[in-house]
Structure 1
Amino acid sequence: MAANPEVTQSVTALVMAGKRSGALDPLAEAAGVAQKAVVPVNGVPMIERVVAQVAACPQVAAICIVAHDRDEIASIPLIAGLMEEGRLAFAEGRFNIVDSVLSGAEGVDFPLLITTADNCLVTPEGYSEFIGKCLAEDAQGAAGLATREAVQEADPIGQKRFYEFSDGGYSNCNMYWIGSRQALAAAEIMREGGQFVKYPGRIIKAFGLMNLIRFRLGWGSKEKLFAQISRRFGFKLVPVVLSDGHYAIDVDNERTLNVTEKILKRREGDRSGGKPAA
């Protein structure tokens, strides 16, 4: 699946496909596979879906899958084909996401688009939108967000966690941007999966106590908070609001797996061999 040759290709995509704490994910166990990344969603392994969409994004030149167990993933025909083309490589997964990003960033060209193997609803257009907005902002680091309204329009129960700012609620789309090797310190934003709503102590570690207080009290807009964080890190970090709320729905558990399959069956028909949508 070659990228459009008319577009200058300057972005490396890291697809994070590791195991959380090295343990077997419940969805993988239920599907009878060794890792969550290859759990089928509407009949297609999650990692295959994500890599296909990333590969079809015209701004993406190279793809690196960061995984603990590469063999099961590398045997997927799409993945094997991209490897033969020299467009896709693997990096060794670590047991936290920050160190895994650092592993994937070794020896690759910047800037980096970072996405996850469970982002099954993001389209090539979604990745292009994110990349284009990051480049337009001249961002050294960025996080993709979707508004509460857009997410709930996509599906009322597809995502339940929102960051509250003075200008509204936003959900994380598991899309990140690292503009240069010097900006890799921004990977700290993603430590432990970035679950700041559930574990606010992680904001203190990454951003500082005052930013935690502002975040928890909803003081200021997302732009103001990111500007304050930028000063802490010493380079420009921006929030990137994406147009489609589907991008914030990833496959975390049985509920979101069922939601994602339902949406994909509407898009592409039933490819699951007759498994009913929830």
Structure 2
Amino acid sequence: MRSIGQSFSAIVLAADREAENPVAAAAGVRCKSLASVNGIPMIFRVLGALSASGKIDSVLLCGPPGSIVKEERELDDYLTSGQADWMESQATPSLSAYEALKSQPADKAVLLTTSDHALLSPRVVTYFLDEAEKSGCDVIAAVARRETVMSAYPQTSRTAYRFRDGAYCSCNLFAFITPQSRTVPSFWRQVEQQRKNPFKVISILGWLTVFRYLAGRLTLSDAMGQLSQRLGCRAGVVVMPYPEAAIDVDSAEDLQLVRQIALHK
């Protein structure tokens, strides 16, 4: 049995979803991960936060493509020095997560995040993993209340899932605590194409769940219960008190916003 307080491995998904990424184009770089936020490429901001948290003992980058890594001296040196391992990304994020998780020992807890989480900080990583371990769940996702995010950053636009007890935004942080959690990426494949459409994501849990969601009767806890049944393991969430945890970089506008926020952090 895993003991509370043990270290995690980290997997960072760092490949672009599309051949011509708009963030990369706006920043004038070869892939989105390399877009600079106040002089530091996003991928190194994420890696720095993971390292400084004290919770991570190894890192696996899934992407960027090897052809890009070889031409990016700073990233190539980082990998060559052994500070992180690297593997080629797969066709979709869920397949990348599946293959990356397969490379980790089954009894090793894993944190999964993305390289465009440019506002990730050590306190966000530490808070999430500490709360995830206390939850007693197999797999845990980080969310933030929409009101928390919008009150701090009203200029941002975030997809929100609206439940009876409030609206929540995803934070691109996932903890796989137990071996049972390793089945989750195959389920993720069913929903990744609908990630910006809360209704279609909820519909995967069944039509009764949809009706309750549309009627405003479904709580976040109810949804996690339904999801646990579909997954065959205990799924839960950690509600993050940090609004920046819900802000990643999906567009050129997001990049400008993150640059502004980072100036004051």
Query: Which residue in the other structure is 2:197 paired with?
Result: 198
In structure 2, how many angstroms separate the alpha carbons of the residues matched to 1:76 and 1:50?
Answer: 18
- String of CA shifts for 1:215-264, please: whole Å, max 9, x gaps: 34432321121012112211100011011111101111122111111111
User: Conserved in 1, the CA contact under 8 Å of 2:143 and 2:171?
Assistant: yes
**Change over 3 Å in CA distance of 1:177–1:79 after alignment to 2:** farther
**Change over 3 Å in CA distance of 1:144–1:249 after alignment to 2:** same
**Change over 3 Å in CA distance of 1:78–1:95 after alignment to 2:** closer
Query: Which residue in the other structure is 1:275 paired with?
Result: none
Query: Which residue in the other structure is 1:155 paired with?
Result: 153
- Over the aligned positions, Cα root-mean-square deviation in angstroms equals 2.3
Equivalent pairs, count: 258
Q: Does 1:27 align with 2:23?
A: yes
The secondary structure found in structure 2 opposite 1:93 is coil
In the TM superposition, 1:69-88 aligns within 5 A as 69-70=65-66, 72-73=68-69, 75=72, 77=74, 80-81=77-78, 83-84=80-81, 86-88=82-84
Query: Which residue in the other structure is 2:51 paired with?
Result: 55
In structure 1, how many angstroms separate the alpha carbons of the residues matched to 2:145 and 2:217?
Answer: 17
Query: Which residue in the other structure is 2:133 paired with?
Result: 135
**Change over 3 Å in CA distance of 1:12–1:229 after alignment to 2:** same
- String of CA shifts for 1:20-70, please: whole Å, max 9, x gaps: 14x120121232222111111222111111111011111111111111414
Query: Which residue in the other structure is 1:215 paired with?
Result: 213
User: Conserved in 2, the CA contact under 8 Å of 1:97 and 1:191?
Assistant: no
**Change over 3 Å in CA distance of 1:76–1:247 after alignment to 2:** farther
The secondary structure found in structure 1 opposite 2:53 is coil
In structure 2, how many angstroms separate the alpha carbons of the residues matched to 1:108 and 1:182?
Answer: 13
**Change over 3 Å in CA distance of 1:140–1:76 after alignment to 2:** farther
Query: Which residue in the other structure is 2:99 paired with?
Result: 103
Q: CA deviation at 1:161?
A: 1.8
The letter for the 2-side match of 1:215 is: Y
Q: Does 1:164 align with 2:162?
A: yes
User: Conserved in 2, the CA contact under 8 Å of 1:119 and 1:249?
Assistant: yes
**Change over 3 Å in CA distance of 1:89–1:212 after alignment to 2:** farther
**Change over 3 Å in CA distance of 1:257–1:191 after alignment to 2:** farther
Q: Does 1:11 align with 2:5?
A: no
User: Conserved in 2, the CA contact under 8 Å of 1:142 and 1:176?
Assistant: yes
In structure 2, how many angstroms separate the alpha carbons of the residues matched to 1:156 and 1:11?
Answer: 34
In structure 2, how many angstroms separate the alpha carbons of the residues matched to 1:48 and 1:217?
Answer: 43
Aligned-pair identity in percent equals: 26
In structure 2, how many angstroms separate the alpha carbons of the residues matched to 1:191 and 1:42?
Answer: 36
In structure 2, how many angstroms separate the alpha carbons of the residues matched to 1:234 and 1:128?
Answer: 27
**Change over 3 Å in CA distance of 1:181–1:98 after alignment to 2:** farther
The secondary structure found in structure 2 opposite 1:146 is strand
**Change over 3 Å in CA distance of 1:78–1:90 after alignment to 2:** closer
User: Conserved in 2, the CA contact under 8 Å of 1:159 and 1:248?
Assistant: no
In structure 2, how many angstroms separate the alpha carbons of the residues matched to 1:53 and 1:260?
Answer: 15
Query: Which residue in the other structure is 2:244 paired with?
Result: 246
Query: Which residue in the other structure is 1:271 paired with?
Result: none
In structure 1, how many angstroms separate the alpha carbons of the residues matched to 2:236 and 2:30?
Answer: 36
The letter for the 2-side match of 1:141 is: V
TM-score, length-normalised on structure 2? 0.88
User: Conserved in 1, the CA contact under 8 Å of 2:120 and 2:245?
Assistant: yes
In structure 1, how many angstroms separate the alpha carbons of the residues matched to 2:248 and 2:120?
Answer: 9
**Change over 3 Å in CA distance of 1:215–1:186 after alignment to 2:** farther
The letter for the 1-side match of 2:16 is: K
The secondary structure found in structure 2 opposite 1:20 is coil
Q: Does 1:36 align with 2:32?
A: yes
**Change over 3 Å in CA distance of 1:104–1:190 after alignment to 2:** same
Q: Does 1:46 align with 2:45?
A: no
Query: Which residue in the other structure is 1:93 paired with?
Result: 89
In structure 2, how many angstroms separate the alpha carbons of the residues matched to 1:197 and 1:217?
Answer: 20
TM-score, length-normalised on structure 1? 0.84
- String of CA shifts for 1:94-152, please: whole Å, max 9, x gaps: 12111000121132242111111111112111011111111001221111100112101
